[in-house]
Amino acid sequence: MTHVALTIAGSEASGGAGAQADIKTFHQLGTFGAAALTCIVSFDPKNDWSHRFVPLEPQLILDQIEASTAVHDIDTTKIGMLGTPATIETVAGALAERSFTNVVLDPVLICKGNEGGFAQDTDDALKAQILPLATFVTPNHFETLALSGMESVETVEELAEAAKRIHEAFDVIVLAKGGVVLEGEDAVDVFYDGEQTVELCSPKIGQERVNGAGCTLAAAVTAELAKGATPLEAARTAKAVVTSSIENRQKGHTPFDSVYQGKYQG
């Protein structure tokens, strides 16, 4: 039987990110993918490609999770875009009811420091209700700063320190992404599991972020854990998958490109 992984995430209509990217990544790694959508996200081509966001009703989210876990034996899930305190509470309750062995969280934070209000409430809910249930977290540079409490992360050494602080604060395995933000020729991510610190490096491919890279990384970790890989093995494969997906990016009419997982050969 093929191993099954569940993504609980938003739909991103262009196919570059969200549950669409997760399912493609699962498939490319030989894992059967199930999905429970939390929201509908679409770019607005008439408004500088900003995001249009529509949350789904809590009961609809619960129905999808119930159906997926009733049909399949699932012990590994990826959590992506949630977006509202109500959705976070709903998903947290569903996770607490099911003893998933692996809960991989792509910690999508929406408050950039100035908005407060709803954005801050959403991020606070994610940290209070979802992070304690996660076993593996994949923060980007901004999220690493927010979760570690550090004022700046500008070097690989500081990224490693931030990963340790996140682990200590939330008791979770961390794959902190340096990406194109840190100086140097390599895109460096840091894995920390409480015992070992491992730098995962690959040459930078341009200096711009690519849509769906974070989703793909977390989804690849999820797929590999579902197949029985160790966390470090899963992180190494995920790094290779996202590097290939950026190298083979899909161009469109947007000012940014999207990842394409289909060329990866493990």
Segment-wise mean pLDDT, segments of 10 residues, the chain, 266 residues: 95 96 98 98 92 96 98 98 97 96 95 74 96 97 96 97 98 95 94 98 88 97 98 98 97 94 94
What pLDDT, on a 0 to 100 scale, did the predictor assign at position 20? 98
What pLDDT, on a 0 to 100 scale, did the predictor assign at position 2? 92
Contact 78, 6 (CB under 8 A): yes
What pLDDT, on a 0 to 100 scale, did the predictor assign at position 114? 63
Tokens 């908005």, located at residue: 115
Cα gap 140→156, rounded to integer Å: 13
Helix axes 117-125, 85-97, angle to 10 degrees: 10
Cα gap 253→266, rounded to integer Å: 30
CA angle 209, 202, 170 (to 5 degrees): 70
Beta bridge partners of 77: 6, 103
Nearest to 91 by CA among 36, 170, 12: 36
> Which DSSP helix (H) or strand (E) runs through 145?
helix 141-148
Nearest to 160 by CA among 208, 200, 130: 200
Q: How many CB atoms lie within 10 A of CB 149?
A: 10
